Amino acid sequence: MKSTRKGLRDDDLFKDTYGRLKCADCEKVLKTTTDPDELFDLRTCPECGTQYKDLR
């Protein structure tokens, strides 16, 4: 799984004018899942299901 930072660098993700992370292919805002047992938030594209980890 890629990190959001790598996704942004690889142009898989971009930030919209509101600073929200969006999937470059689907132009959908990523959903955020917070697991208190993990060191990162899970970011999921609701369209294609690609997941990224967002280090806190």
- The CA distance from 2 to 20, in Å, is 18
Of the candidate residues 16, 27, 38, 47, the single one contacting Zn ion (CB under 5 A): 47
- The CA distance from 51 to 18, in Å, is 21
Of the candidate residues 13, 21, 30, 45, the single one contacting Zn ion (CB under 5 A): 45
Q: Applying CB under 5 A, which part among 1-9, 10-18, 34-42, 48-56 lies near Zn ion? A: 48-56
Amino acid at 22: K
Is 30 a residue that touches Zn ion (CB under 5 A)? no
Of the candidate residues 8, 26, 29, 42, the single one contacting Zn ion (CB under 5 A): 26
- The CA distance from 56 to 46, in Å, is 21
